[in-house]
């Protein structure tokens, strides 16, 4: 019977073939589908053990109901207004980091993207060289409790057409409160500050897409404002120094300082890309921007002060500054890729970046001495950068499994910076140069379809660098290998090293950083039963450089060491109907700042109904500092809720 | 409206020791139902004769299909669907399906072959003949195929600066060409997983306590880096034409300031900060801000930056945190010493 079927079936199919006309392409037409996933939970945070201020500075997760994550995906291949919609949201309901991303469009008609990000930044780390630490005061004098929020919208009209206009709007805000320092001669006073800045940018342009050439022209404008208020109201602030200065106790009774900065600017961008022949590609870019800013600043202070310059006491001061600045900034690049032979690519790139900041500032300061003293000052500053880089690489496929690369990079440029006000010892320069020839090499091996290896190497004897710690006589390499034992099992190893030296007199800079990493990824049967992902990195950093020893202007070595072990392990296991996840990460550092940070976690997910899963997760956060034990914190967090798939 | 029917027939022969392998595939699709039959591994003379007869009959029935209006050597996407059904259907929901749906690229009906090369010989022989499978191709050939269309799109304007391009990391290392999805590359956390599968040292940096909030989903690798390449440093994207992407979020550091701190403008932020993650507060590159500042602020003949005045008695805690007094270290509106 089976044999008969084998013979007859082809004839039946053949008859059906005969009876039909040649059809159009068989694609899913008119198909509409929704895919919605939500992860809603409640989180509990155990009472913080140790320093809760540091917990907020590092983790900052709170309690309560949360939308941990949500995804919406919509496809309508026959949609008249929208045929694609993707949306996702992350950490809503009170968490310090919320994001939302929405993208929708209609094929060949428009594409609209909306992004929202809201990040709370809290930093109150007391160990940062607090002058009052010896007196047991742990509060930071550089604390911040602010929010940074961004909204971005991009619209592209006819994204695949020959002429495709685009428009974009971007707004970034920063606001919140912090602690800063008001400095007077002989003392510094921790005071409150309110921060409020706003950047808005509009841009629009057109893309011209031809078969061998593309052009992009864009123009935009920005507005910027920065309002800051620094204040201390009605009290007695003794500051960091409680002993008299020039025979007088320095005390702040009242402070009101207000900055108002308003700026605007415009920018232009032009890009040309071409592929005039099968063996030639080129790209050229020109970018120009010119932001400007105007500043007014008022300061009123009352208290008990001494002017070091006048050696005279005073009880109050008033100060007003007017300033402006602008920065014309041009950047350009040109790249060419030649393929003179099937296996040879020659890639050339040139990049230049030039700007010129010029500013003027006027100051009036009135000190309430007996008699009143008035200062006036005018300052003009210039900061200029000319940076250039040219690179040529030859990439040769010596064998289908071996690609070799060799090249040369030349970096040159100069800078003029404001006259250094820190000018003790030898007279510092205010003009710098950068000049560096770099040799480049690379190797890619595909030793077998399962084994890949790549190496990247560069070295330079160095000539000039702007700053003492810049790249000078250096070499660096990155190597990476991946062995895929099976489609579900892979091993990856990576090694990177940067060795940089500047043997010049009074510098003697010797820097080396290394990272050695391995990872293991096992997902048999697409992880249906279990999957394991593990990685480990050993990092070391050594930096020695001669620095000035104050107050005697001798020389000493600044030494920094970082010896770290970092690892992550995540396992997923199916146990009956439940999915168990266990693992976590740790980072342990020895050296100049010995630190431990552990985040183990475990979770269980169990289907409870057709579209619902119950999820529960535990995490532990543990942080420790060997030198600053009062910074340690530890806590458990527990969350549970439903994962909903519609 | 009823779905139009499609029918495909391919007949091929190939010599495989120890005998002759004749394959016949017949498929018909109507109203969403597909029937497919493939016959192969015929070693005996009786089977060969039987299937040869069947093949001739099928070929005769299938002749009208050969009259499809396709360029010479092309088999047509329908033919590909016969054997590669899952790939074909996934592709229809993929942005590349525009090749089939839009007239712009003149690839309608031959989208598969626009990358894999004309496949008539392959369809007839059912062997890897004349087509490019990419599975065994070198990164250079893979990239060439992709850049045939994408080489002049704006996404790739910085390709020559890209370390990925220079190090033979081909397009398909990150992009999944056939799979269904709004994007050919995963975004958000999935993109971060993809990046960190190679950049293990960066993954490790994000395990440190002071870091950008990547694991929390507040930021993604591609928010800062353009994997297709951008001018230095580190393939970082630009905003407002030519400002580094750091200033997109940290707009208060953007300036221009009447009193600029030179390294903030001349060097990338990574001169003082570890942008991925650090063991030092505020993601600083050193544990002690005094040392960090003095590494530049020690006068040397050929470099920028002078030494602090002598009243900075660094033996005293009062002077060990430079940014307590020099609080506007990223640039000041009013003070040339960044004091306010």
Share of chain B above pLDDT 70, in %: 77
Chain A interface includes B97 (CB < 8 A): yes
Question: CA-based diameter of chain A, in Å?
Answer: 120
Lowest mean pLDDT among A10-14, A565-569, B80-84, B308-312: A10-14
Query: CB distance A13–B167 less than 8 Å?
Result: no
How many whole angstroms separate alpha carbon A32 and alpha carbon A533?
Answer: 36
Residue A36 lies in a domain: no
Residue A150 lies in a domain: no
**pLDDT tens per residue across span A101-137:** 999 999 889 999 999 999 999 998 865 555 555 565 6
Q: Is the pLDDT of residue B17 over 70?
A: no
Task: Give the pLDDT band of residue A177 (cuts 50, 70, 90).
Answer: very high
Q: In terms of C-beta distances under 8 Å and separation of at least 24 residues, what long-range contacts does A204-207 make, across chains too?
A: A204/A165, A204/A166, A204/A167, A204/A168, A205/A165, A205/A166, A205/A269, A206/A163, A206/A164, A206/A165, A206/A166, A207/A163, A207/A164, A207/A165, A207/A166, A207/B154
Contact A143, A184 (CB under 8 A): no
Query: What pLDDT, on the 0 to 100 scale, is given for residue A542?
Result: 96
Share of chain A above pLDDT 70, in %: 91
Query: What pLDDT, on the 0 to 100 scale, is given for residue B184?
Result: 66
Q: Min CA distance, B9 vs chain A (Å)?
A: 8
Query: What pLDDT, on the 0 to 100 scale, is given for residue B33?
Result: 42
Block residue for tokens 């909204």: A151
- The secondary structure of B205-261 as a DSSP string is HTTSSEE--TTTTS--HHHHB-TT--SSSTTB-EETTTEETHHHH-GGG----SB--
Chain B residues lying within 8 Å of A128, measured CB to CB: 281-282, 289, 321
Helix (H, G, I), strand (E, B) or coil at B49: helix
How many whole angstroms separate alpha carbon A209 and alpha carbon A206?
Answer: 10
Helix (H, G, I), strand (E, B) or coil at A504: coil
Query: What pLDDT, on the 0 to 100 scale, is given for residue B183?
Result: 62
How many whole angstroms separate alpha carbon A200 and alpha carbon B241?
Answer: 14
Query: What pLDDT, on the 0 to 100 scale, is given for residue A16?
Result: 40
Chain B interface includes A411 (CB < 8 A): no
Residue A255 lies in a domain: yes
Q: Which of B81, B296, B313 sits opposite A467 (nearest CB)?
A: B296
Query: What pLDDT, on the 0 to 100 scale, is given for residue B109?
Result: 87
> Looking at chain B from residue 112 to 131, which residues have their Cβ under 8 Å from any Cβ of chain A?
none
**What is the pTM for the complete model shown?**
0.88
Q: Which residue has the higher pLDDT, A77 or A481?
A: A481
Helix (H, G, I), strand (E, B) or coil at A580: strand
Query: What pLDDT, on the 0 to 100 scale, is given for residue A82?
Result: 93
- The secondary structure of A421-458 as a DSSP string is S--BSSPPBSEEEEEEEEEEEEEEEEEETTEEEEEEEE
Q: Min CA distance, A157 vs chain B (Å)?
A: 15
Query: What pLDDT, on the 0 to 100 scale, is given for residue B100?
Result: 83
Query: What pLDDT, on the 0 to 100 scale, is given for residue A608?
Result: 95
Q: How many CB atoms lie within 10 A of CB A184?
A: 24
Where in chain B are the domains? 6-62+72-125, 154-244, 255-325
**pLDDT tens per residue across span B142-170:** 988 898 888 888 888 899 899 999 888 98
Lowest mean pLDDT among A180-194, A366-380, A585-599, B38-52: B38-52
Query: What pLDDT, on the 0 to 100 scale, is given for residue B307?
Result: 86
Residue A321 lies in a domain: yes
| Letter string b/e over residues A488-513, b meaning 16 or more CB atoms within 10 A of that residue's CB | eebebebbbbbbbbbebebbebbbbb
Dihedral (CA of B266, B267, B268, B271) sign: negative
Q: Is the pLDDT of residue A424 over 60?
A: no
Q: Which residue has the higher pLDDT, B92 or B239?
A: B239
Chain B residues lying within 8 Å of A517, measured CB to CB: 200-201, 203-204
Share of chain A above pLDDT 90, in %: 76
Residue A4 lies in a domain: no
Q: Is the pLDDT of residue B29 over 50?
A: no
User: Rounded to a whole number, what is the distance in angstroms from the first to the last CA of chain B?
Assistant: 73
Dihedral (CA of B158, B164, B166, B170) sign: negative
Task: Give the pLDDT band of residue B299 (cuts 50, 70, 90).
Answer: confident
| Residue A297 structural domain | 162-337+348-381
Query: CB distance A381–B336 less than 8 Å?
Result: yes
Chain B residues lying within 8 Å of A552, measured CB to CB: 310
How many whole angstroms separate alpha carbon B189 and alpha carbon B216?
Answer: 9
Query: What pLDDT, on the 0 to 100 scale, is given for residue B174?
Result: 87
Q: Which of B26, B252, B311 sits opposite A197 (nearest CB)?
A: B252
Residue A635 lies in a domain: no
Q: Which of B9, B157, B334 sits opposite A283 (nearest CB)?
A: B157
Q: Which residue has the higher pLDDT, A288 or B186?
A: A288
- In chain B, the residue whose alpha carbon lies closest to the alpha carbon of A127 is B281
Radius of gyration of chain B (CA): 31
Lowest mean pLDDT among A20-24, A84-88, A146-150, B214-218: A20-24
Query: What pLDDT, on the 0 to 100 scale, is given for residue B106?
Result: 82
Q: Which helix (H) or strand (E) holds B101?
A: helix B98-101
Residues contacting A257, CB < 8 A, separation 6+: A182, A228, A229, A230, A231, A297, A298, A299, A300, A301, B340
Tell me the mean pLDDT in the region A413-430.
69
Q: Is the pLDDT of residue A17 over 50?
A: no
Q: Min CA distance, B65 vs chain A (Å)?
A: 6
Q: Which residue has the higher pLDDT, A570 or B64?
A: A570
Residue A634 lies in a domain: no
- The secondary structure of B117-183 as a DSSP string is ---HHHHHH-SS-S---STT--HHHHHHHHHHHHTTSGGGTTGGG-HHHHTT--GGGT--SSS-SSS
Domains identified in chain A, total number? 1
Query: What pLDDT, on the 0 to 100 scale, is given for residue B319?
Result: 85
Residue A472 lies in a domain: no
Name the average pLDDT for chain A: 90
Q: Which residue has the higher pLDDT, A645 or A140?
A: A645
**pLDDT tens per residue across span A315-337:** 999 999 999 999 999 999 999 99
């Amino acid at each position: 019977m089976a044999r008969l079927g084998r013979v007859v079936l082809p004839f039946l199919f053949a008859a059906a073939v005969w009876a039909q006309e040649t059809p159009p392409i068989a694609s899913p037409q008119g198909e509409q589908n929704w895919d919605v996933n939500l992860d809603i939970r409640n989180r509990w945070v155990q009472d913080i053990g140790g320093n809760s201020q540091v917990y907020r500075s590092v983790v900052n997760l709170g309690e309560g109901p949360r939308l941990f994550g949500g995804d919406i995906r919509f496809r309508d291949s026959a949609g008249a207004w929208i045929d694609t919609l993707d949306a996702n949201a992350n950490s809503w309901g009170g968490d310090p980091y919320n994001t939302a991303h929405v993208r929708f469009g209609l094929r060949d008609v428009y594409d609209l993207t909306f992004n929202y990000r809201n990040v709370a930044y809290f930093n109150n780390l007391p160990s940062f060289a607090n002058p009052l630490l010896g007196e047991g005061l742990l509060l930071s004098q550089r604390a911040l409790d602010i929010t940074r929020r961004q909204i971005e919208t991009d619209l592209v009209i006819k994204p695949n057409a020959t002429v495709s206009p685009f428009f974009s709007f971007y707004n970034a805000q920063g606001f919140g409160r912090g602690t800063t320092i008001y400095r007077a001669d002989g003392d510094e006073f921790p005071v409150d500050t309110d921060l409020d800045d706003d950047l808005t940018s509009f841009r629009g342009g057109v893309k011209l897409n031809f078969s061998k050439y593309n052009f992009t022209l864009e123009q935009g404008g920005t507005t910027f404002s920065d309002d800051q208020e620094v204040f201390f109201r009605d009290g007695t602030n003794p500051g960091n120094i409680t002993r008299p200065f020039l025979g007088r106790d320095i005390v702040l009774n009242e402070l009101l300082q207000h900055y108002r900065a308003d700026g605007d600017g415009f920018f232009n961008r032009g890009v040309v890309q071409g592929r005039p022949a099968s063996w030639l590609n080129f790209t050229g870019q020109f970018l120009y921007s010119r932001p400007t800013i105007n500043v007014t600043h008022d300061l009123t202070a009352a208290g008990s002060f001494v002017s070091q310059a006048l050696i005279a006491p005073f009880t109050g001061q008033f100060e007003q500054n007017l300033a402006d600045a602008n920065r014309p900034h041009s950047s350009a690049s040109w790249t060419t890729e030649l393929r003179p032979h099937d296996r040879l690519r020659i890639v050339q790139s040139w990049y230049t970046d030039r700007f010129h900041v010029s500013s003027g500032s006027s100051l009036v300061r009135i000190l309430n001495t007996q008699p009143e003293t008035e200062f006036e000052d005018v300052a003009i500053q210039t900061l200029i950068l000319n940076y250039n880089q040219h690179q040529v690489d030859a990439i040769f496929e010596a064998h289908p499994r071996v690609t070799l690369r060799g090249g040369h990079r030349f970096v040159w440029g100069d800078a003029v910076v404001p006259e250094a006000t820190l000018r003790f010892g030898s007279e510092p320069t205010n003009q710098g140069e950068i000049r560096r020839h770099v040799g480049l090499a690379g190797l890619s091996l595909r030793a077998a379809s399962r084994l890949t290896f790549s190496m990247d190497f560069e070295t330079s004897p160095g000539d000039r660098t702007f700053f003492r710690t810049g790249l000078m006589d250096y070499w660096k390499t990155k190597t990476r290998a991946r062995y895929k034992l099976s489609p579900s099992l892979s091993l990856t190893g990576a090694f990177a090293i940067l060795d940089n030296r500047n043997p010049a007199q009074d510098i003697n800079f010797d820097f080396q950083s290394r990272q050695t990493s391995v990872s293991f990824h096992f997902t048999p049967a697409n992880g249906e039963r279990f999957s394991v992902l593990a990685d480990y990195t050993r990092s070391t950093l050594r930096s020695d450089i001669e620095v000035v020893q104050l107050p005697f202007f001798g020389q000493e070595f600044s030494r920094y060491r970082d010896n770290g072990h970092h690892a992550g392990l995540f396992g997923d296991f199916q146990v009956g109907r439940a999915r168990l996840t266990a693992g976590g990460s740790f980072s342990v550092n020895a050296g100049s700042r010995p630190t431990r940070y552990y985040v183990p976690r475990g979770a269980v997910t169990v289907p409870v109904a057709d579209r619902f899963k119950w999820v529960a997760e535990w995490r532990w956060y543990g942080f420790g500092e060997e030198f600053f034990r009062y910074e340690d914190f530890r806590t458990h967090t527990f969350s549970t809720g439903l994962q909903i798939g519609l | 409206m009823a779905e139009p029917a499609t029918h495909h027939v391919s007949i091929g022969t190939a010599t495989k020791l120890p005998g002759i392998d004749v394959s016949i595939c017949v498929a018909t699709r109507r109203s969403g139902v597909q029937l497919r039959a493939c016959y192969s591994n015929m070693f005996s003379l009786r089977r060969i004769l039987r299937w040869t007869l069947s093949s001739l009959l099928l070929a005769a029935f299938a002749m009208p299909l050969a009259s499809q209006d396709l360029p010479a050597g092309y088999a047509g996407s329908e033919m590909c669907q016969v054997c590669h059904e899952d790939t074909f259907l996934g592709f229809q929901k993929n942005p590349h399906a525009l090749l089939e749906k839009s007239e712009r690229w003149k690839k309608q009906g031959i989208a598969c072959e626009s990358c894999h090369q004309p496949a008539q010989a392959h369809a007839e022989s059912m062997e890897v003949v004349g087509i490019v499978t990419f599975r065994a191709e070198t990164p250079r050939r893979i990239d060439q195929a992709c850049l045939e269309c994408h080489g002049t799109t704006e996404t790739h304007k910085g390709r020559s600066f890209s370390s990925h391009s220079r190090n033979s990391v081909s397009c398909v290392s990150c992009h999944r060409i056939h799979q269904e999805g709004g994007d050919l590359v995963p975004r958000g956390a999935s993109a971060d997983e993809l990046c960190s599968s190679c950049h293990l040292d960066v993954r490790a940096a994000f395990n440190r306590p002071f870091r950008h909030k990547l694991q929390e989903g507040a930021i993604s690798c591609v928010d800062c880096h353009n994997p297709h390449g951008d001018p230095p440093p580190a393939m970082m994207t630009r905003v407002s034409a030519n400002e580094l992407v750091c200033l997109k979020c940290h707009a208060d550091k953007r300036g221009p300031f009447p009193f600029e701190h030179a390294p903030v403008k001349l060097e990338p932020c990574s001169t003082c900060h570890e942008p991925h993650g650090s063991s030092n507060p505020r993601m600083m590159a050193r544990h002690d801000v005094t040392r960090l500042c003095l590494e530049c602020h020690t006068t040397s003949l050929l470099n920028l930056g002078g030494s602090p005045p002598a009243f900075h008695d660094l033996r005293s805690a009062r002077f060990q945190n430079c940014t307590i007094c020099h609080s506007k270290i990223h640039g000041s509106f009013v003070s040339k010493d960044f004091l306010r």
